[in-house]
Amino acid sequence: MTQRIMIVGGGPGGYVAAIRASQLGAHVELAESEHFGGACLNVGCIPTKALLHVAELYQAMLHGNAVGLKADDVRVDWPSVLKYKDKVAARLVKGVEGLLKANGVTVHRGHAIMRDARTVEINGAPIESDTILLALGSEPAKLMFPGADLPGVIDSTAALSLTKLPTSMVILGGGVIGVEFAAMFSAFGCKVTIIEILPQILPGVDGEIAKEVRKEISRKGVTVLTETRLTEVKERGMQLWVTAVMGGQLQEMATDTVLVAVGRRPRTRGMGLEKAGIHMDRGRITVDKNFLTNIPHVYAIGDCSSAIMLAHVSSAQGMAAVEHALGHEPAYFGNIIPACIYTSPEIASVGLTEEQARAQGIAYKAGVFQLAGNGKAIIESEGKGMIKVIAGAVYGEILGVHIFAPRATDIITEAALAMRLEATVDELISTIHAHPTVGEALVEAALAVDGNAIHWPPGEKRR
């Protein structure tokens, strides 16, 4: 008998799960109240990266003289930039709709509410299923402070659709979202200040990489204020005035826009989950290793249940959940998850940082290779950046890789695969890498674990 699966949410977790369930022979229905592709395709990953791509092209044109290119009257046509961003997102959303149709998924447009362990109500009509998979996604987290509701105080969603480029912006939060938006708006010519309450930006990123990133974005004009707390925002005339505490002293700064970029929270309110008896912890659905909730046959994946809010995590969990629901043995390795940050150069990481290895008492060795010794990086980014490989002290197994380099977000996949296959630094070193590529610097970092980098002077200390 064909199993019926109802998936609530058409983001990167939900639509991928729907396609996989259909491949495995299930009758699949999917409910989506807004746009397919979720936050990622519509107000997150894709539109942000489209704008970052344009910003990078703009900077390349402005500095073309350095490589012998002459361009006059280079300027940003912001309405056209937004049209490009929307065109990219719309193309991908349409592609998702086509994939669902091609895989025979029945689509329901409307808000879904859970009625019980087998029933979801959409636009007042109950639909029964054998299995329900909740892929509800997330929304920007909000902070309550004096002035938080003023015009000009926006979240990341609104920042992607500003009708005009601000001349100045204060970004509250120096995490991934805040740093990416800082890089983007700064590249478009906006004066950007980041306010971060912690001692370093990009908490969770390898400390050495985070310091290098701070140096680079500061060099490009972003003001970074760490160990600083925003207290209020006031409106004076045509500008916003931000008050912050830094080193026990009050500071004021004027700005056009305040972007609150303090992360995202699970989107679980108004779904009837509490009445259905689903356990949650501070708004996040509680699941087991197979993504089952406390109610049999009800699964939850992605941002609504995972502490790691990444689109590729949602997709992998969605596939694993429906495979389990349909009697298969899923292969999900939640300890090997690459993370990417789209600054210039890019940042990417997988596995343990040095700080985490020390905290866990793991004996390790670290090799660092500065990209000033890599030909392709010199061509693309004047040799800025570094690659770090962390390996077990005894067997040399790869425990973590951290990259600040051009193409970092592509290179990290090789590192993730190496970890998935339990490779050692010796196996990485013995894999011949193409030249000239930034990727060959990964081999140099592996060689540096034992002090044997080829294209870096011996004995020279890490920065």
Domains of the chain with CATH codes: 4-140+265-325 (3.50.50.60), 153-262 (3.50.50.60), 339-448 (3.30.390.30)
Q: How many CA atoms lie within 13 A of 450 on its CB side?
A: 12
CA separation for the pair 392, 423 (Å, rounded): 11
Three-class DSSP category at 251: strand
pLDDT value of residue 173: 97
CA separation for the pair 347, 115 (Å, rounded): 43
CA separation for the pair 265, 303 (Å, rounded): 8
pLDDT digits (tens, 9 = 90+) for 416-454: 999 999 999 999 999 999 999 999 999 999 999 999 999
pLDDT digits (tens, 9 = 90+) for 5-35: 999 999 999 999 999 999 999 999 999 999 8
Query: Burial level of 44, CB count in 10 A (0-12/13-18/19+)?
Result: buried
pLDDT digits (tens, 9 = 90+) for 86-107: 999 999 999 999 999 999 999 9
Distance (Å) of CA 190 to CA 29, 136, 256, 290: 45, 34, 10, 45
* Band (1; pLDDT cuts 50, 70, 90): confident
DSSP E strands, 385-435: 386-392, 398-405
Q: Which ranges constitute the DSSP H helices of 125-195?
A: 156-159, 176-187
Closest residue by Cα to residue 182 from 156, 217, 152, 146: 217
CA separation for the pair 102, 19 (Å, rounded): 9
Closest residue by Cα to residue 342 from 14, 60, 45: 45
Helix axes of 14-23 and 78-102: crossing angle, nearest 10 degrees: 20
Three-class DSSP category at 423: coil
For 164, residues 6+ apart whose C-beta sits below 8 A from its C-beta are 78
**Would the pLDDT of 460 be above 70?**
no
Annotated active-site residue in 63, 279, 328, 435: 435
| Predicted structure pTM score | 0.95
35 part of the active site: no
Is the distance from CB of 238 to CB of 168 less than 8 angstroms? no
Is the distance from CB of 163 to CB of 81 less than 8 angstroms? no
The residue behind tokens 């990133």 is 213
